[in-house]
Amino acid sequence: MTYAAPSFEEKICPPAQLTARVSSIARPLVFTNGCFDILHRGHVTYLAQAAALGASMVVALNSDASVKRQGKGDDRPVNTLADRLAVMAALGCVALVTWFDEDTPLQRILECRPDVLVKGGDWPVDKIVGCNEVLGWGGTVHSIPFIHQKSTTALLEKIRRL
């Protein structure tokens, strides 16, 4: 018997292929981004809510170097980019997952030209990277309030205490 790679891995999209791949997925297109280092209930609830705002969703992950520059701690990310991409790609609400090495996802946003730009409730709409661009081409921008107050940092602190 021959082993075939899981189909979800086909959803992992290198940045150089993003524009071409996005052209073949359903619109309206939702775009969100983040580290998503240790996926928890807050993340998956947020992602499901974001995806519901359109027909398909692209998620851009911070590269490992980008996460380190955010000052989350010397031991972050806990999971490598390859692992975080695979976990994100396995979620049914995600159409494509890509990454960015810069400090912001602006270049991926410009490449995708999403109809809907989304971040979590800790981001006021006017502070969301790409807000002006997405509004400028007629899209919408949303800050989704947190339902479950979870954080990867708090989860890691709890694990260390145990």
Task: Specify if 85 maps to a domain.
Answer: yes
Q: Do the domain assignments include residue 140? A: yes
- Does 131 fall in a domain? yes
Regarding pTM above 0.75, the answer is: yes
In a domain, 18, yes or no: no
In a domain, 156, yes or no: yes
The token duo for 13 is: 């999209």
Q: Residue 13 falls within a domain, yes or no?
A: no
For 139, the domain range is 25-161
In a domain, 20, yes or no: no
36 pLDDT exceeds 70?
A: yes
Domain CATH number, residue 156: 3.40.50.620
In a domain, 12, yes or no: no
Give residue-wise pLDDT tens across range 139-162: 999 999 987 667 777 777 787 788
Kindly report, residue by residue over 66-122, the tens digit of the pLDDT.
999 998 888 889 999 999 999 999 999 999 999 999 999 999 999 999 999 999 988
Number of domains in the chain: 1
